[in-house]
Amino acid sequence: MKSTMPLFQSRVHCTMNSPPVTGALLGSGTDGENYPQVYADHARARVGRLLERREWDPYTLSLGGYTLSLDYIGWRKLRVSFTAVRQTSRLTDVATDLSSLLTYVATDLSSLLTYVATDLSSLLTYVATDLTSLLTDVSTNLTSLLTDVATNLTSLLTDVSTNHISLLTDVATDLISLLTDYLKQSITPCYQDGTKVFMASCDKMVKCWDLGSNQTVQVAQHDAPVKTCHWVKGPAYSCLMTGSWDKTLKFWDTRSPAPMMTINLPERVYCADVVTAQTA
């Protein structure tokens, strides 16, 4: 690196009046190195003092982007050496740019986080609003549905109850009418296993009323009004016994129109009973 003598002499003059700087030398300035040399006689003419044979402490000063170091190594020569230490301006620029970049990144990151937080808050508010609206609609619809079901169920139960009452009334009416018709002529009924009713009547017939099918069928016949009927159940057989004012006692297999047995009596039958005797 080249420089003119006045510049160095001026710099040397300024440096010589500076306080000593401690630390290692920044350069030796020996022969053969690419450092400018300033001889003692030129320097002595400019600085106005005699350079003696002694060593001075190194001095430094800033020269542009470099550091200038002065070192006295002999009474005949004064070497001025330039040592490139660092580009402080560039480091400052880098530091400034880095600080600016970090500030920019921090600002952008803060802005981004604020934006994300705002959007997230807005999204959560929107979701909460929609969820509340949805739950309100579901609750309203469910309440309406339950009300409709309850109303329809009440109506259905009312209709069923009404229909059942009507049906029971009709059955009762028909039963009363049927019984009335038979009882007008009936003398006495008897039962078979709780499923059939045998009715003896003044029309000379004995009829069987099947409670399951609600049907009646004639099962016995006399020549006079029938006064009594009984269901006889023995260990080996069962039959229907009828007594009539025609002075006969007849035993019937209800599956046959003819009596199983007829007993002629001297007088009309007014009443009768059946006692089942068990023999040893």
Cβ–Cβ contacts within 10 Å for residue 199, how many? 22
243-264 mean pLDDT: 92
The helix-helix angle for 40-47 and 5-16 (nearest 10°) equals 60
Check residue 220 and give its pLDDT: 93
Check residue 190 and give its pLDDT: 66
Ordered by start, the domain boundaries in the chain are 5-85, 88-184, 186-264
Q: Is the pLDDT of residue 229 over 80?
A: yes
Assign residue 214 a region (left: φ > 0; alpha: ψ between -120 and 50; beta: otherwise).
left
- The CATH class of 186-264 is mainly beta
Rg of the chain on CA atoms, in Å: 70
Check residue 164 and give its pLDDT: 65
Q: Is the pLDDT of residue 51 over 80?
A: no
Q: How many Å apart are CA 105 and CA 109, to the nearest integer?
A: 6
Among 7-21, 57-71, 114-128, whose mean pLDDT is lowest? 7-21
- Specify the amino acid at residue 3: S
Check residue 30 and give its pLDDT: 38
Q: Is the pLDDT of residue 34 over 60?
A: no
202-207 mean pLDDT: 88
> How does pLDDT run across 88-137, given as a tens digit for each residue?
444 455 566 667 767 777 777 777 778 778 878 888 887 888 888 888 87
> How does pLDDT run across 126-151, given as a tens digit for each residue?
788 888 888 887 778 778 877 777 77
Which residue has better confidence, 150 or 258?
Answer: 258
